[in-house]
């Protein structure tokens, strides 16, 4: 079972202007001296009002990537690299995953420089080149994410998918380690992260943040960023029963490409 954590969302208030306010003119710019003096004093007071300082960016120290044991029956004995995962892709630019869902498309830039083990795993599963164990218990080489769902949704927090079982209990038959890189903070919506059941137990399931989630810092691998945010918010607004989608949004396909 994947760990769930809660976050709070803030609400911004907008102030408007009265459309009936007349435009400035030479006539109404001529104020009595007392009024002009009071206006100038108010302006000075306003300028002197304290301004709340901008909080410094959050800092997260990176840590060495752990070594995890290969699953005994893993056909490749956990020997899987980014070169293996991207073999045959044309181009040499940014690595991107395009998630086609029934609620819109998401384009996710993958952080291959920050989380190469995680990206290699995700790309291999998406392309069907990294063997994984199906819910029937058979090792397969086929796209692992096509036809799956966002089975777990918490609006204002995250949307979670990538489970072939669709229940939140599915795993690919092996685990990969966390990759906690320096200053990798969950500070906005659209961050692509690995779900897990504890340290160094990542597999196939992933989530995309729907807002800032600072309590996740230093515990979950961030390996990409997805846009547009509007699609993330739309999926996060799906009807739920508890944290389970009543009618889970479907991931039609995940396609991997490189920019030229």
Under CATH, domain 92-258 is a member of which superfamily?
Cyclophilin-like (2.40.100.10)
81-120 pLDDT, tens digit per residue, is 999 999 999 999 999 999 999 999 999 999 999 999 999 9
Q: For the residues of 125-161, what is the DSSP string, one character each?
A: HHHT-S-EE-TTS-EE-S-SSTTEEEEEEETTTEEEE
- Is residue 217 pLDDT above 80, yes or no? yes
How far lies 31's CA from each of 51, 80, 244, in Å?
Answer: 30, 77, 64
Higher pLDDT: 190 or 41? It is 190
Predicted pLDDT at 92: 92
pTM: 0.79
pLDDT of residue 52: 62
Ordered by start, the domain boundaries in the chain are 92-258
Phi and psi of 236, rounded to 5°? -65, -15
What tens digit of pLDDT does each residue of 128-185 get? Answer: 999 999 999 999 999 999 999 999 999 999 999 999 999 999 999 999 999 999 999 9
Give me the pLDDT at residue 19, please: 36
């Amino acid at each position: 079972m994947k760990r769930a954590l809660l976050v709070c969302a803030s609400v911004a208030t907008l102030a408007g202007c009265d459309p009936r306010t007349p435009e400035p003119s030479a006539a109404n710019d001529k104020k009595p001296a007392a009024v002009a003096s009071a206006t100038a004093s108010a302006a000075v007071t306003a300028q002197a009002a304290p301004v709340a300082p901008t909080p410094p960016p959050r800092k997260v120290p990176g840590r060495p990537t752990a070594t995890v044991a290969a699953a005994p029956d893993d056909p490749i004995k956990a020997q899987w690299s980014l070169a293996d995962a991207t073999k045959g892709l044309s181009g040499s630019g940014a690595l991107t995953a395009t998630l086609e869902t029934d609620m819109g498309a998401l384009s996710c830039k993958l952080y291959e420089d920050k989380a190469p083990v995680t990206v290699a795993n995700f790309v291999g599963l998406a392309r069907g080149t990294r063997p994984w164990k199906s819910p029937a218990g058979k090792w397969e080489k086929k796209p692992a994410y096509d036809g799956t769902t966002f089975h777990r949704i918490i609006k204002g927090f995250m949307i979670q998918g990538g489970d072939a079982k669709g229940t939140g209990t599915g795993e690919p038959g092996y685990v990969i380690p966390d990759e906690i890189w320096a200053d990798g903070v969950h500070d906005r919506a659209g961050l692509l992260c690995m779900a897990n059941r504890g340290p160094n137990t990542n597999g196939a399931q992933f989530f995309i943040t729907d807002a800032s989630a600072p309590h996740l810092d230093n515990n979950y691998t961030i390996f990409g960023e997805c846009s547009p945010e509007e699609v993330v918010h739309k999926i996060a607004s799906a009807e739920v029963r508890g944290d389970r989608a009543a009618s889970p949004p479907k991931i039609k396909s995940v396609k991997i490409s490189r920019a030229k």
